[in-house]
Structure 1
């Protein structure tokens, strides 16, 4: 419907009646084009200072994200009312420029307009989104001075402000929450998110369990917090509870659950989520669709189903740098380095500034070179990181290069690269070099490195490198030297962290730790292992003495 058709050719004689007519048009307007036509009529009829009409215009522009148009209208008002100020402050509070709300508030005070509860609510929300804790505290002072501390919307936004303020402020957020006479699910969610942000997952769970009402944000916040904190089993358990409670699953929760599936190797649930996304969901915005696909790629790759990950990648209508990095890293970890580099070259030729390799991409690329033994390519990519793409090498990139060179036998070059590092080598760097010494039986270099580290590090730190040194001696069959080093390790009282693995049987993920017999089926498991070893020996298997020594703890 065109606005020109809605307003009579012969204007209603009464100015007030015309204002009411235009006001009703604004209220029923549902497209930006129509709103602009109505706005033109407002200007033509001299109603540009009618606050009650302009509030509706601003509200429409703000809701549709057209802050540029909203500001243009606002700046043309000579004496904005508090309601008009609130609309423009609210718009920026919810935008990508929440700090602008604070500037507008200062202008509002200077113009002697009277802030109300809505003003403070929008302003506190802006401070929380922009991380402006000090400014938020000042607003809190004005709230107390002007008597709005019992306003439920103001209280909720105060809880949110201090909840995002870090571990030092979450206790204060809890105090404000306890003082609230009326609590909504939003205020509960704000406090819940605050505990997860400061890493107190147990505290967050207690709040979650106490909630009289939960919505999808409550469940998603708790699931995401557990997944981010490494409590993947708990995250999947909560997801199961969420489904049984018939809460509609949102895309943010699915991304977190897929991350937990990747960590635990829960392929069955990961496949179900993939089906659910394709059959039951209609992602409402492109960025979340990309995030879901990225999470699917990561899940399949982590579960060892790299070809499924590649299928998801290939059908993605839009790909981010994370998408390319995830599939490159997935192929690299599966030992398919040549394919990983082929995808990387496709990424470079895809063009555009939206997709550029970053620090994580190059870790995947160098890892692929290391697994595939592509030394020449690794050197080229490492050199081109900074020169071509402006990515400064971090300790992880040096670790990949040292590993690549050491595995390939270029131990002298690896040592020289360590000498040029602008950062102090860590255990990954030295471990990669000593690993290369074991592969190529370079006892002299391994001894030199281990002795150097023994001088520089305290005994507990040095013990880890002594384990690697003993492995080098064992690989070279210098048994007496290996035993001597092992005895030194025992004297230091250092034990290697036990190996850990997971296996999924009938939709249940079982965790196993080396030497652990706590599993309820441990007797049957070890009985089966014994049977497998017996059959292996019958088929001609003989124990590798070197590997047996490497796996020994205290021989």
Structure 2
């Protein structure tokens, strides 16, 4: 009787203390607080209480502190399903997803049984091409234990196959999709993304058109997929359609659209996105993605407005390596070599302070800048310090930049030696850089040697530009017989130089022009203006010089004037 009267208040106090510690875990804000709360859990003998431990592990997983979570988990004698699930979830989202599979195998050897959430987290862990075989085994397990009918399990399974890529995987993803009696917008989005990863843009478009409901992710996936597949006009058309549908545009959408703007030179749409982003996500807001700022820099630089790109760059509070690299390559591509190198020196001066360092892409921009400014010694220095100071092994693109730098400077022997000592086989771009130097410095003999290398390594379609370049070299050296031979070879092989192409934006519409094309709706007016410009040029005393038209050695004089 005494025990019956005494025990209830003790149990009540114990329950109250557990609830208090659980509440503290719910409101925990830092790792230091977590450590103190965990200590109280251990001191008061609650380290085996699964519901408290599950809450502790949830905080660890959410904050990325898997080391603490693993230590706490190892102290539990009989983890419940929810405790196992928290650890499996944590590793599924980490850089070591295979640990999730290991934990699942250990769990299977105990009396604790997995539930729907266990498989949801495992399927997330297997959403990687290298884990496809394990994912297929899980698929079989789901069918045998009757959990396959769950819409969330089916969606995660579909997503796993979609991410794996390849013919077989995308077919399995579609099979899962077709077998689903119920689908939500996440399911449709997973199938949409799967087709883009597989490279079937048309199938992705059909899925998008059939979707009963679209959210921001649906539109963004479609815009990004088209932009990355080279269908930038379609990407921008989708963006405008998204606006007309009054779907919320988020920062990821803006990044994808800016990529298309950069490719097409659509400055007007790019400026609109910049203005919209400033209103929706103020520049110094902590919520603004670094990738959005980087995309703005890339867009402005690609559209030739490097001053605006630099203004955005200067306003960024927290720059990443990508931020610095985008600005460096932006300046370099626009011929502002000195400015690009100035940015790189600035990057080096704050490297320790901001915790950033150049990567392979950064050095491509730096070497390109050295090439366009003729800084041979500086280029050699940066090429060497890539390995000695930063531990970066040069890619073939870096060798191509160095060959271009040396060739432009007239150091053709050094450039040729560099090619011969490269640790990888030179490609057309590397040989082409040397051939370009031969044209500048009129080294016909070396050009002939380089051309032979190019012609034997490249397909006819890829060799067109190099045939023309070799023809120019021969023309510069007045070797007309060789010019004729090259032109004859081009004709016999069916090789044609891709026609010149340009575009301009007028009143928000991008007009695309191809040399010799007459399909534009205003073609008559355009060619009338060309004739007028030519007529006025003649009145001013203009006449095409041989140096202006060496690329057109087989073209009649009147036609040369027009094309020049």
Alpha-carbon separation, structure 2, partners of 1:91 and 1:30? 20
Superposition map of 1:146-165 within 5 A: 146-165=145-164
Q: What SS does the aligned partner of 1:13 have? A: helix
Of the structure 1 ranges 284-293 and 258-267, higher mean CA displacement relative to structure 2 is found in 284-293
Shift of the 42–425 alpha-carbon distance from structure 1 to 2, 3 Å rule, reads closer
Alpha-carbon separation, structure 2, partners of 1:45 and 1:456? 75
Does 2:361 match 1:370?
A: no
Of the structure 1 ranges 246-255 and 379-388, higher mean CA displacement relative to structure 2 is found in 379-388
Of the structure 1 ranges 393-402 and 127-136, higher mean CA displacement relative to structure 2 is found in 127-136
Per the normalisation by structure 2, the TM-score is: 0.89
Shift of 1:500: 1.6
Q: What SS does the aligned partner of 1:503 have? A: strand
Query: Is the Cα–Cα contact under 8 Å of residues 220 and 252 in structure 1 kept in the other structure?
Result: yes
Does 2:140 match 1:124?
A: no
1:80 corresponds to which residue?
Answer: 79
Q: What SS does the aligned partner of 1:510 have? A: strand
Of the structure 1 ranges 209-218 and 17-26, higher mean CA displacement relative to structure 2 is found in 17-26
Residue deviations 1:399-447 (CA, integer Å, cap 9, x gap): 2122222222222222222222222222222222222222222223223
Shift of 1:546: 4.1
Residue deviations 1:309-365 (CA, integer Å, cap 9, x gap): 111111211112211111111111222212211221222222338422222111111
Alpha-carbon separation, structure 2, partners of 1:225 and 1:493? 34
2:345 corresponds to which residue?
Answer: 345
Superposition map of 1:123-202 within 5 A: 123-128=122-127, 131-168=130-167, 169-202=169-202
Shift of the 482–286 alpha-carbon distance from structure 1 to 2, 3 Å rule, reads farther
Match of 1:26 among 22, 25, 33: 22
1:508 corresponds to which residue?
Answer: 509
2:560 corresponds to which residue?
Answer: none
Shift of the 279–542 alpha-carbon distance from structure 1 to 2, 3 Å rule, reads same
Q: What SS does the aligned partner of 1:132 have? A: helix
Alpha-carbon separation, structure 1, partners of 2:58 and 2:448? 73
Alpha-carbon separation, structure 1, partners of 2:144 and 2:455? 63
Does 2:414 match 1:413?
A: yes
Per the normalisation by structure 1, the TM-score is: 0.90
Shift of the 297–553 alpha-carbon distance from structure 1 to 2, 3 Å rule, reads farther
Does 2:49 match 1:55?
A: no
Alpha-carbon separation, structure 2, partners of 1:251 and 1:174? 30
Shift of 1:19: 2.0
The alignment yields a C-alpha RMSD, in angstroms, of 2.8
Shift of the 305–51 alpha-carbon distance from structure 1 to 2, 3 Å rule, reads same
Q: What SS does the aligned partner of 1:345 have? A: helix
Query: Is the Cα–Cα contact under 8 Å of residues 129 and 163 in structure 2 kept in the other structure?
Result: no
Shift of the 462–210 alpha-carbon distance from structure 1 to 2, 3 Å rule, reads closer
Shift of the 141–471 alpha-carbon distance from structure 1 to 2, 3 Å rule, reads same
2:543 corresponds to which residue?
Answer: 542
Does 2:491 match 1:494?
A: no
Shift of the 35–444 alpha-carbon distance from structure 1 to 2, 3 Å rule, reads closer
Alpha-carbon separation, structure 1, partners of 2:165 and 2:322? 28
Superposition map of 1:321-360 within 5 A: 321-352=321-352, 354-360=355-361
Alpha-carbon separation, structure 2, partners of 1:422 and 1:35? 52
Of the structure 1 ranges 365-374 and 53-62, higher mean CA displacement relative to structure 2 is found in 53-62
Unpaired segments ≥5 residues, structure 1: 1-9
Residue deviations 1:435-464 (CA, integer Å, cap 9, x gap): 222222222322343356556777776665
Q: What SS does the aligned partner of 2:289 have? A: helix
Shift of the 553–83 alpha-carbon distance from structure 1 to 2, 3 Å rule, reads farther
Shift of the 211–456 alpha-carbon distance from structure 1 to 2, 3 Å rule, reads closer
Shift of 1:523: 1.2
Q: What SS does the aligned partner of 1:119 have? A: helix
Alpha-carbon separation, structure 2, partners of 1:502 and 1:45? 73
1:261 corresponds to which residue?
Answer: 261
Alpha-carbon separation, structure 2, partners of 1:451 and 1:62? 60
Alpha-carbon separation, structure 1, partners of 2:458 and 2:96? 48
Q: What SS does the aligned partner of 2:548 have? A: helix
Aligned length: 546
Shift of 1:552: 6.1
Alpha-carbon separation, structure 2, partners of 1:455 and 1:209? 46
Residue deviations 1:286-306 (CA, integer Å, cap 9, x gap): 797221111111111111111
Query: Is the Cα–Cα contact under 8 Å of residues 283 and 289 in structure 1 kept in the other structure?
Result: no
Alpha-carbon separation, structure 2, partners of 1:522 and 1:457? 36
1:3 corresponds to which residue?
Answer: none
Shift of the 460–88 alpha-carbon distance from structure 1 to 2, 3 Å rule, reads closer
Q: What SS does the aligned partner of 1:247 have? A: coil
Shift of 1:109: 1.0
Greater relative contact order (CA < 8 Å, ≥ 6 in sequence):
1
Shift of 1:206: 0.9
Superposition map of 1:63-102 within 5 A: 63-102=62-101
Of the structure 1 ranges 172-181 and 289-298, higher mean CA displacement relative to structure 2 is found in 289-298
Query: Is the Cα–Cα contact under 8 Å of residues 281 and 288 in structure 2 kept in the other structure?
Result: no
Query: Is the Cα–Cα contact under 8 Å of residues 128 and 164 in structure 2 kept in the other structure?
Result: no
1:522 corresponds to which residue?
Answer: 523
Unpaired segments ≥5 residues, structure 2: 1-5, 557-564
Shift of the 26–329 alpha-carbon distance from structure 1 to 2, 3 Å rule, reads same
Alpha-carbon separation, structure 2, partners of 1:348 and 1:398? 22
Alpha-carbon separation, structure 2, partners of 1:65 and 1:451? 57
Does 2:9 match 1:13?
A: yes
Q: What SS does the aligned partner of 1:501 have? A: strand
1:384 corresponds to which residue?
Answer: 385
Does 2:394 match 1:393?
A: yes
Alpha-carbon separation, structure 1, partners of 2:134 and 2:344? 45
Shift of 1:100: 2.2
Query: Is the Cα–Cα contact under 8 Å of residues 460 and 495 in structure 2 kept in the other structure?
Result: no
Residue deviations 1:252-297 (CA, integer Å, cap 9, x gap): 2211111111111111111122222222126899797221111111
Alpha-carbon separation, structure 2, partners of 1:551 and 1:31? 74
Of the structure 1 ranges 218-227 and 466-475, higher mean CA displacement relative to structure 2 is found in 466-475
1:7 corresponds to which residue?
Answer: none
2:218 corresponds to which residue?
Answer: 218
